[in-house]
Chain A
Amino acid sequence: MEEKIYRFWLHRLPGVGDRSIEKLLAVFGSAENVCRAGKELEKVLGKRAAEEIVEFNTTFDAPGAYEQMLRQKIAFYTPQDPQYPARLKRLARAPYGLYCLGALPQEGRPAAAVIGARECSGYGRFVAEAFGGGLSEAGVSIISGMARGIDGLAQQAALAHGGGTWAVLGCGVDVCYPACNRTLYQEILEKGGGILSVFPPGTPPARGRFPERNRIVAGLSDLVLVVEARQKSGTLITVDMALEQGKHVYAVPGRLTDRLSDGCNLLIRQGAGIALAPSDLLAELRILDNRKALGGGRKEPAGEPPAPPQSGEGDSREGTGEGEELLKFLDCDPKSADDILRAVQGAGISMELPELLAELIGLCMEGKAARQGGSYFFRADGSDLFAEQPGIGYNEKRQSPATE
């Protein structure tokens, strides 16, 4: 049996965590020796734990399980392996076992964690997409937890902009949680990213596993960006972990009246970096100078809906021309048709509700707007909502090719 399988066996032992493994290895030297130690284990772990291990050994077929895992294309790494991520090795407590589906994060590339609330707002959605996309385009690996909301959106945007992204899960790497991100999970693997976890394959998600997941998210990144978080949020656990690990934390400012921005605003007060544009983070990552080399030209995002056929364009919409005008009245957060109507009428455009609805539906079908709950509308693409001045928001990036 190879040493690797012994290590795998060691990591799977019940009631033996990273700390116990450290102690065992200090006493016995290698995983193989631990396995052969037999009665000796009692000295380190105590009688009960040792008995449990004996019990476990009678049922657990380590080579079989390892074989099975390899068939699932899941790799297993310990700090002894040369491939083991250097960033994790530097942690105060490097996780002994790391399971990986797909590739490991590239060592030479800068990595940023983009994290935030699961139930995010429209604003959070646009910001996550802008930063995820912008950073990824500049060659930064995006590390996140593949959760609903900010995490998943940022990773999705990273993929759409052709960059790599890595998801750290709080369950086995073969368990897709949350299920709604199934397509993202697949896409990460297809596009050269990876799914990582410190929990063995098949482990179901559980509340207690997420802090450890968050520690790894922070550990794999060079800095952490918080897009949207409530005052009491799981996201802030990741932030604490990152600060403990000595990493810089950035937060996207929000309005004081938005509860979903409270967490970010408080972080800023406590001294977090203020992220107004992806370039703020790129400077921190010291790669701004190399941007040209990394390709400054903006690529068309792959996820954008195909343009409608030119022939059908003119006649499939009733009132032409007005639609573009209407886009001005839409925001990143859903606005009800009644509110839009009032705003439109307030701006001196004479329009009745049925007409307005027809126009809005037209915009939705062109992919410029989207709707929620039937009669609430919002922008599908928020990139032009960011400020025009260079240096703020996503537009700073878009303008750069022209100025160069």
Chain B
Amino acid sequence: MFSTILTGSVYGVDSRLIRVEVDLSPGLPCFVMVGSPGREVRESGERVRIALKNSGITLPPMHISVNLSPADIRKEGTGFDLPIAVGVLCALERLPGGCADGMLIMGELGLDGEIRKIKGVLPGAVTAARAGIRRCLVPEKNVWEAAAAEGMQAVGVSCLEQAMEYLKRSGQERDRFLPPRTVDPRALLSPRQTGRGGAREPDFDQIAGQESVKRAALIAAAGFHHLLIMGAPGTGKTMIARRLPTILPPLTLEESMEVSSLYSIAGKLGEEECLITRRPFLSPHHTVSPQALSGGGRIPGPGLVSLAHRGILFLDELPQFKRQTLDLLRQPLEDKQIQIARTGGAFCYPADLMLVGAMNPCPCGYYPDRNRCRCTPFERRSYLSHISGPILDRIDLCIQAQKVDYARLREGGGEGSGSMRAKVEQARKRQRERYQGTGIRFNSDLEAGELERYCALGEKEQRLLERMYRTMDLSVRACHRLLKVARTIADLEGSGEIACSHLAEASIYRAFERPED
């Protein structure tokens, strides 16, 4: 009258294996759940009882105890329904003992016995696979993400009766009844799979003119620098930002797993989707609340900064965002992760994102066109001051987009995403080689102390930088930013040393200057 089932529960970005122990013993008929169950988990007893009843199984009037082990960690989520139900059935001996051994079971039950989609299946399956578990029983709608875990055979079930039927069978018969599904994640990430077919995808060759903005986008992509595009309304700021993902290198398997886990935990993975294979591109509206951006809730879940992990967070109309919301980005931009502490616990979500901002240069949007813009320096300053210094300090590249004249528009686009991406990948390769074994991934990750080593300058360049420092009134921090960007430009050109032309070009990308009264 005792059974044990394995299931998983999500903690932050990781998942832990949880043992569901069910015991039936004579005594006052009741359903007791112990082992720090959270609110949803506590409700699980009621769902299990009714789902079993509606699947034709009436619970005997016995004392049913469920323990969730390890008992000292709090359990959250609705994925415990199915393992508890299976545990009860095993303890009732309606299912053969040991039928669920070596198997991970997760799923939510409806009162009619339907098995519903849950969050966090992918991290659960990954953890189980690492622990040597090779098979899992999950809701049909989550089966593909479970299959994406390496070495995991995923079986999808859509109702309790089907799950019982499956578990009653043995070995070979099981597979014939519900064939397990496996996926090779590497194949998923091969260019052919992620390749764009059908409708025309966004591509940089659709952009006419804007050479300098495209160039800035290329540099940003190559060194994973944050980028700010300023320009009048309708100059293509958003268009360019939307095309940035097309020149970033494709996700690696490791990156894809990280991103997909976050999406799984947030419940944002599509039914047919095994893994997220494209770099995320998120563009929240400026009314986004701080909590939505950072992640939160009583029991914290990943926010937009984490969903943009390894991808792009595009903030259009940057000054329209509340200052409080923007300032929240300080930690993610600095540490590449975000720590959230709520009553339900403190969690740390990864947030290694590329911030792309777009904004008008002044309240009316037409500065420096003096025929249209009548904004005073004071107005411009107060408009720009919506963005706090610490955020700006972390944006390495800043470029002004200008209106493209009609003649240029008719000439059509210039360089396409394909060749730009090839350049980015070359630059990335150089960075990988240079930073091997240091933990640094991109030029934008360089700290002040490391600049000396990786951005060493020749005598001539040193002199130029010194002159720039004096004539352009650079701050020390701006100087460091300039060096990092120059390093990326040098990488793009395939040059080992930073040359004067690289430094000169890097200094262009400082469009954000506070108007001098």
Contacts and interface: CB of A to CB of B under 8 A. Distances in A.
Interface string B373-417: 111110000000000000000000011101000001000000000
B481 to A, nearest CB: 13
Contacts of B509: 374-375
Given A358-B504, A365-B467, A374-B400, A180 B371 contact: no
A119 B505 CA distance: 29
A90 interface: no
Given A354-B215, A357-B505, A374-B511, A118 B376 contact: yes
A58 interface: no
B433 interface: no
Interface in A354-374: 354-355, 357-362, 364-365, 367, 372-374
Interface in B405-432: 408
A336 interface: yes
B72 interface: no
A354 B489 contact: yes
B76 to A, nearest CB: 48
Nearest to A333: B370
Nearest to B411: A342
Contact of B517 (A148, A316, A360): A148
Contact of A361 (B230, B463, B507): B507
A333 B212 CA distance: 19
Contact of B400 (A259, A336, A361): A336
A361 B512 CA distance: 16
Interface residues of A, number: 42
A365 B361 CA distance: 24
A316 B467 contact: yes
B483 to A, nearest CB: 15
A316 B215 contact: no
B99 interface: no
A315 interface: yes
Contacts of A337: 211-212, 508
Given A258-B371, A354-B489, A374 B510 contact: yes
Contacts of A148: 377, 517
Contacts of B500: 316-318, 358
B212 A373 contact: no
A224 interface: no
A372 to B, nearest CB: 6
Contacts of A357: 212, 504-505, 508
Contacts of A359: 504
Across the A-B interface, give the 9 residue pairs with the lowest CB-CB distance, nearest first. A374-B511, A180-B517, A358-B504, A361-B504, A358-B501, A336-B402, A121-B370, A357-B505, A318-B501
Interface of A: 118-121, 148, 178-180, 257-260, 312, 315-318, 333-334, 336-339, 341-342, 353-355, 357-362, 364-365, 367, 372-376
Given A357-B504, A358-B501, 12 more contacts: A257-B371, A259-B370, A316-B500, A318-B499, A336-B212, A336-B400, A341-B212, A354-B493, A355-B501, A364-B471, A373-B368, A373-B400
